[in-house]
């Protein structure tokens, strides 16, 4: 896979606790025209079947980071993290 243009490089903007929240945030951003991806994967089971999710990251193109963060600022579970490029 080729290298993305710097403004289109996907960067992590936040993390959420579970796959449902990740889907909600991706949907919220999409409604405002922001392309977003979540690294959501089904939770694994540990200790005899207890569901476990370690959290999920949301990524957007670098050119849309500020707009996305502004839209998410009022989300109760938004946890801002450094703008990190997503490894491909």
With 60 as the cut, is the pLDDT of residue 44 above it? Answer: no
With 60 as the cut, is the pLDDT of residue 56 above it? Answer: yes
- Local structure of residue 65 (DSSP, 8 states): H
Q: Does residue 88 or residue 69 have the better pLDDT?
A: 69
Closest CA to 54 of 63, 62, 44: 44
Compute CA distances 5 → 19, 24, 85, whole Å.
29, 27, 12
Look at the pTM and tell me if it is higher than 0.75: no
The full set of domain ranges for the chain reads 6-85
Question: Under CATH, what is the fold of the domain 6-85?
Answer: Alpha-Beta Plaits (3.30.70)
């Amino acid at each position: 896979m080729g290298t993305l243009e710097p403004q289109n490089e996907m960067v992590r903007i936040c993390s959420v606790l579970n796959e449902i929240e990740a889907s909600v945030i991706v949907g919220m951003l999409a409604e405002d025209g922001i392309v977003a991806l979540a690294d959501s994967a089904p939770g694994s089971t540990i200790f005899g079947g207890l569901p476990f999710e370690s959290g999920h990251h949301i990524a957007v193109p670098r050119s849309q980071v500020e707009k996305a963060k502004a839209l998410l600022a009022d989300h109760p579970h938004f946890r801002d993290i450094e703008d990190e490029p997503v490894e491909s």
